[in-house]
């Protein structure tokens, strides 16, 4: 008998219901699906684009963070350089 390890994953309800309707053991269905995935040479086409999108979003997030820091420092400098002679909280 082959050595087995346990894996816990969350799947969409739709897939869970389809597995339940099959009448086979859930572990057999999942094992067959994973074996099919790892033995085929063709992986989902979207996987490369998803990785590229994640990398692009990560880069955009870094740029937004840098801009946020720049804006915060500009706001801080403006608050520090308020005109003297009146309290900072008085706008009129």
Q: Mark whether 55 and 79 lie in a shared domain.
A: yes
Q: Which range marks the domain in which residue 18 is found?
A: 1-42
What's the rounded Cα separation, in Å, for the pair 53 and 60?
10
What's the rounded Cα separation, in Å, for the pair 34 and 4?
14
Res 15 pLDDT > 70: yes
Q: Is 90 among the domain residues?
A: no
Q: Is 61 among the domain residues?
A: yes
Q: Is the pTM of this model over 0.85?
A: no
Number of domains the chain is built from:
2
pLDDT for res 20: 86
Long-range residue pairs from 50-59, CB within 8 A, at least 24 positions apart, any chain: none
**Domain-ending residue, one of 9, 25, 42:** 42
pLDDT for res 83: 58
Q: Mark whether 48 and 32 lie in a shared domain.
A: no
Q: Mark whether 25 and 57 lie in a shared domain.
A: no
pLDDT for res 80: 63
């Amino acid at each position: 008998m082959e050595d087995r390890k346990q894996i816990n994953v969350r799947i969409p309800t739709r897939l869970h219901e389809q597995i339940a309707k099959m009448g086979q053991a859930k572990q057999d269905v999942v094992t067959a699906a994973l074996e099919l995935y790892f033995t085929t040479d063709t992986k989902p086409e979207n996987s490369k684009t998803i990785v590229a999108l994640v990398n692009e979003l990560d880069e955009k997030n870094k740029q937004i963070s840098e801009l946020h820091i720049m804006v915060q420092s500009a706001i801080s400098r403006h608050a520090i350089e308020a005109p003297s002679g009146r309290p900072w909280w008085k706008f009129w």
